[in-house]
Amino acid sequence: MRGEVATFLHWVSALPNELVHARPSLCVFYAWMLLMHGQPLKVIESFLRNADRGDEIVAGRVTALRGLMAGFRGQMGRAVELSRRALEQLPEEDQFVRTFATWLLRTSQLVGGEGMTDSQPLDDVLRMSQRAGNVMLSVMVVCNRAELLMRQGQLHKAAATYRKALELATDAQGQRMPIAGQALIGLGELSRQWGDLDAAVRYLVEGIELTEQWSEVGSLEAYISLARIRWAQGDVDRAWQALEKAQELAVKFDLTDLDDLTVAMFQAWMCVAQGNLGPARRWAEERDLYQYVDSPWQEKAGDPYDHRLRKYELLVLARLLIAQGQPAEALKLLGSLVPVAEWRGRPGMLIEIYALQALAYQAQGDVEQAVVALERALSLAEPEGHVRIFADEGEPIARLLQEAARRGIAPEYVNKSLAAFGVSKDRGTGEPLPSPQTQPLLEPLSARELEVLRLLNTHLSSTEIAEELFISVNTARFHIKNIYGKLGVHGRSEAIQRARELGLL
């Protein structure tokens, strides 16, 4: 109940197998903790089969655990059914499992869209878990509330709620229990969104260390956040290392494919951001995403878990389309996603949609429409202080933000957002660069690669180019390598000559 899953697993694994198998209740709780820790399904099933011997209380515990497994698979209807059955089977005094079954029932109803749009139904679970002394579940419930607030775009309320969870997960000696990792990871992601990258890293690193004591796979989202931070800091190598760690965890947890799909989506996002479009195109084709450009996708209540990821995958596809010089297709796709974000009550997603619309209009040369779309994004983003949602889009959005500042649109907030790029409303970001869709290349250079290309046409070394652009030397070299590959050359002088022939310099 303190979330010391690793300790529990260590103790039970030290016992002889025949002793564990002879005790049905121990088998159930061991299987439960194996699941929490992300162990293979076949191992979990072997202990569940051993536990199922006709005892009604043990049967209720098995049913509750199978409900949790259905929840991990995204089978929310099945999770609700099994949770209700477990509550019918379990006696009132079995508070530990009853609270978990009630929590699963409420969260499955929330995710399943059974008319529940706020966290109030979780209040009874919080009261039950606190009465039972179940600190782990109490913290999980409060974190559930914070996650819901974050999805609803209420970032400041989400942060306050995560801090409450952190208090619950701190013992009388001031030591944080393992379950505190979940709250720390949430605070890390919020700090990232606000642009405080140093604080975000501190939260995430501590969160990962604690979370791995109770659920190794529970740190997957932390590694994704860490990858995005390292990318923002210009450390491409460490960004990919963090995503590789997330992928390892996703592969290890074989109960669901949702984690694997999530990691693959962020890998595609990183490829687009780097201008490495080939792998991103293959990902989009494998996920059959291009069909939604002409046939709009609509999310429905009761959709499978993996289908709900689709709206976020389509945002990555929109970025890919813009990078490929297909802004009209991107605008068509983004327009179809607006009602989805509105129906789901996802202001963060709406901000992202409007920002991408601004980039697509900019790519078409329609600055007026680009500024209109950006103003919509800014009006939604300013109250909660979003920063990275703009900064992650790179140089093109910085130029639009400068234009917004010149027009007096949300001046204080725009200046704060521009600070994340290391520029201000009065400082240019360089000479005008050709937009990707006008480049005579099969795979156009990204905005950042065009910047690097311009600096290659100077006396600056790769180290000095990195300093000029406020990126790491490794990142500068990565961009130079990409430029050579796209131009089909093998060196700096060849690249400059080829770029001039193509009208890029």
At 204-239, the pLDDT tens digits run: 999 999 998 888 788 999 999 999 999 998 888 899
Two tokens, residue 98: 């009853």
pLDDT given for residue 433 in this prediction: 46
Predicted local confidence at residue 137, as pLDDT: 92
Which pLDDT does position 76 carry in this prediction?
Answer: 84
Tell me if residue 176 falls in helix, strand or coil.
strand
Q: What average pLDDT score do residues 47-51 get?
A: 87
Report the percent of the chain where pLDDT is more than 70. Answer: 92
The answer, yes or no, to whether residue 427 has pLDDT greater than 50, is: no
Residue 432 has pLDDT above 60, yes or no: no
Instruction: Tell me which amino acid residue 503 is.
Output: G
What's the pLDDT tens digit per position in 6-20? 889 999 999 998 899
pLDDT (mean) for 463-480 = 81
Ordered DSSP codes for 272-330: HHHT-HHHHHHHHHHTT-THHHHS-----TT--HHHHTHHHHHHHHHHHHHHTT-HHHH
pLDDT at 442: 62
Residue 353: pLDDT band by 50, 70, 90 thresholds?
very high
d(CA 307, CA 221): 19
Q: Considering only CA atoms, which of 505, 503, 408, 388 is closest in space to residue 457? A: 505
Quick one: pLDDT at residue 261? 93
Mean pLDDT of 49-55: 79
Distance CA 99, CA 107 (A): 12
Cβ atoms of 152 and 17 within 8 Å: the answer is no
**3-state DSSP call for residue 227?**
helix
> Does residue 403 contact residue 368 with C-beta atoms inside 8 Å?
no
* Residue burial 58-82, b: 16+ Cβ < 10 Å; e: rest: bbbbbbbbbbbbbbbbbbbebbbbb
Residue 249: CB partners within 8 Å, gap ≥ 6? 38, 216, 217, 219, 220, 223, 259
Of the pLDDT bands very low, low, confident and very high (cuts 50, 70, 90), residue 116 is very low
Six-digit token string for 428: 């240019």
Q: How many CB atoms sit inside 10 A of residue 270's CB?
A: 20
Q: Given this model, what pLDDT does residue 98 score? A: 92
The structure tokens 């749009």 sit at 117
> pTM value?
0.80
List C-alpha distances in Å: 377 to 180, 298, 302, 323.
33, 22, 29, 20
DSSP string, 419-487: HTTT--TTS--SS----GGG--SSSPPPHHHHHHHHHHTSS--HHHHHHHHT--HHHHHHHHHHHHHHH
Kindly state the tokens that stand for 364.
């078409």
Tell which CATH architecture fits domain 436-501.
Answer: Orthogonal Bundle (1.10)
Q: Is the pLDDT of residue 260 over 70?
A: yes
What are 306's two structure tokens? 């993996």
Architecture in CATH for domain 280-419: Alpha Horseshoe (1.25)
Residues sharing a CB contact under 8 Å with residue 294, sequence separation 6 or more, in sequence order? 332
What is the distance between the alpha carbons of residues 13 and 383, in angstroms, rounded to a whole number? 51
- Reply yes or no on whether the pLDDT at 426 is more than 70: no
Under the banding of pLDDT at 50, 70 and 90, the label for residue 459 is: confident
The answer to whether 270 touches 240, Cβ cutoff 8 Å, is: yes
| HSE, side-chain direction, 13 A CA sphere, residue 137 | 26
Helix (H, G, I), strand (E, B) or coil at 170: strand
Quick one: pLDDT band at residue 437, thresholds 50, 70, 90?
very low
CA atoms within 13 A on the CB side of 101: 24
pLDDT digits (tens, 9 = 90+) for 155-213: 999 999 999 999 999 988 999 999 999 999 999 999 999 999 999 999 999 999 999 88
What is the chain's mean pLDDT, rounded?
88
Determine the pLDDT at residue 252.
85
Range name among 262-276, 316-330, 427-441, 465-479 with the lowest pLDDT average: 427-441
Alpha helices in 169-309 (DSSP H): 180-194, 197-211, 220-232, 236-252, 258-274, 277-286, 291-294, 305-308
Confidence at residue 438, expressed as pLDDT on a 0 to 100 scale: 53
CATH 1.25.40.10 occupies which residues in the chain? Answer: 5-246, 280-419
CA distance 89 to 62: 10
- φ and ψ of 441, to 5 deg: -125, 145
Tokens of 341: 């974000």
* Cα(146)–Cα(289) distance, integer angstroms: 31
Determine what percent of the chain is predicted with pLDDT higher than 90: 53
Rg, Å, the chain Cα set: 25
Q: How confident is residue 308, by pLDDT bands cut at 50, 70 and 90?
A: confident
Place of tokens 């515990």: 61
Of the candidates 54, 124, 149, 132, the residue with the CA atom closest to the CA atom of residue 93: 132
Q: What is the model's pLDDT at position 112?
A: 60
Residues listed for the chain? 505
pLDDT reading at 262 higher than 90: yes
In this prediction, residue 430 carries a pLDDT of 45
Confirm if 295 and 332 have CB atoms less than 8 A apart: no
Question: Could you read off the pLDDT of 271-299 as tens digits, one per residue?
Answer: 999 888 899 999 999 999 999 999 988 87
**Mean pLDDT to the nearest integer, 37-51:** 86
Q: According to the model, what pLDDT value does residue 347 have? A: 93
Indicate where the chain has its CATH 1.10.10.10 domain(s).
436-501
Residue 436, pLDDT above cutoff 60: no
Q: Judge: domain 5-246, CATH 1.25.40.10.
A: yes
